[in-house]
Amino acid sequence: MSEKETVRLVVVGSTAIDNIETPWAKRKNLLGGSASYACAASSFFTSVGMVGVVGEDFPPEYMELYRRFGINLEGLQIKPGRTFRWAGAYEENMDERRTLLTELNVFATFRPELPPAYQVAPFLFLGNISPELQAHVLDQVRRPRFIIVDTMDLWITTAVEALRAVIGRVDLLTLNESEARHLSGKHSLIKASRRLLELGPKYVLIKKGEHGSVLFSRNGMFLMPAFPLEDVLDPTGAGDAFAGGFVGALAVGGRVNEAAIRKAMLYGSVVASFGVEAFSLERLSSLTREDIEGRAALFRNMCQVR
């Protein structure tokens, strides 16, 4: 990949090897991690560069898979040691997930560095890493037009002040329902989002899994259901695929306004819905832009009060 290639979107996050158990299947050594899901999802819409770290054990076929998605890998570090490993098990009905193993390995000492071509990219998705590292990335971007940050309970518990500072430097905060309640101290999502908007972002996007997502801004709300699926094979990475598809679709368009954001949420939902139809990136790797447009049209009709 040439260093001259234009990267419109930079995604920072984890790359992992996952073992996943569902009520119907057990799969080992799957490609996972927030950056993997988000980059793959965004690659259908825009040119994306990945900032992450893998160990020397990282399977060459997964590197090849990244390339097939067209992901720029200049920002992907290869370090001595083992790749981040995660294992989880879903309960019946896929409602609950237990973490069976978290082995940080090379991810424990990850320090994200942006290659020059990434530093001038207009769109940035800061996936779920420590707020300190997220701030380190923010210090490197030179011409940001739209920055999205994700987080998780761990950082709300252990690094809330650093997290608040990061949120104050971005355009959109995305997190799930329970995290929004945890970070704001409010149960009502309307009250929670009001508190979170006070931290500085223009938008708060709350992910509610099978119940869709809600966008909050100072102007109001946008309610987006999830695309309904008959069977979900593996929900791992759905939130990251949603966020990746969302920011990817946003990066295509010219202006970032609420109309563009709503449309991008529709695309994010659609890509995420394909993602959970199979394990890992298996469904996304055979997906086409036509598949996405077909389901987006269907979905739009399903949401339309006429």
Residues at the site binding a second copy, with contacts judged by CB under 8 A: 93, 187-191, 208, 211-212, 214, 220-225, 228-231, 259, 262-263, 265-266, 298, 300-306
Residue 250 CB, nearest approach to a second copy (Å): 14
Residue that has been written with the tokens 């199979």 in this structure: 278
Residue 139 CB, nearest approach to a second copy (Å): 35
Residues 6+ away with beta carbon under 8 Å from 35: 11, 12, 13, 14, 15, 50, 51, 52, 127, 240
Per the structure block, which two tokens stand in for 58? 């990282």
- 53 versus 172: smaller Cβ distance to a second copy: 172
On the 0-12 / 13-18 / 19+ scale of CB atoms within 10 A, 48 is: buried
Pairing of strands 85-90, 16-21: parallel
- 3 versus 231: smaller Cβ distance to a second copy: 231
- 101 versus 297: smaller Cβ distance to a second copy: 297
CA 268 – CA 241 distance, rounded (Å)? 7
Residue 251 CB, nearest approach to a second copy (Å): 18
Residue 224 CB, nearest approach to a second copy (Å): 8
- 100 versus 302: smaller Cβ distance to a second copy: 302
- 51 versus 292: smaller Cβ distance to a second copy: 292
Residue 270 CB, nearest approach to a second copy (Å): 11
Decide: 295 and 270 in contact? Cβ < 8 Å: yes
* DSSP per-residue letters across 124-174: EEE-SS-HHHHHHHHTT-SS-SEEEEE--HHHHHH-HHHHHHHHTT-SEEE
Residue 221 CB, nearest approach to a second copy (Å): 5
- 288 versus 301: smaller Cβ distance to a second copy: 301
- 108 versus 223: smaller Cβ distance to a second copy: 223
Element (H, E) at 10: strand 9-12
Q: Cα 12–141–70 angle (5° rounding)?
A: 45
Residue 298 CB, nearest approach to a second copy (Å): 8
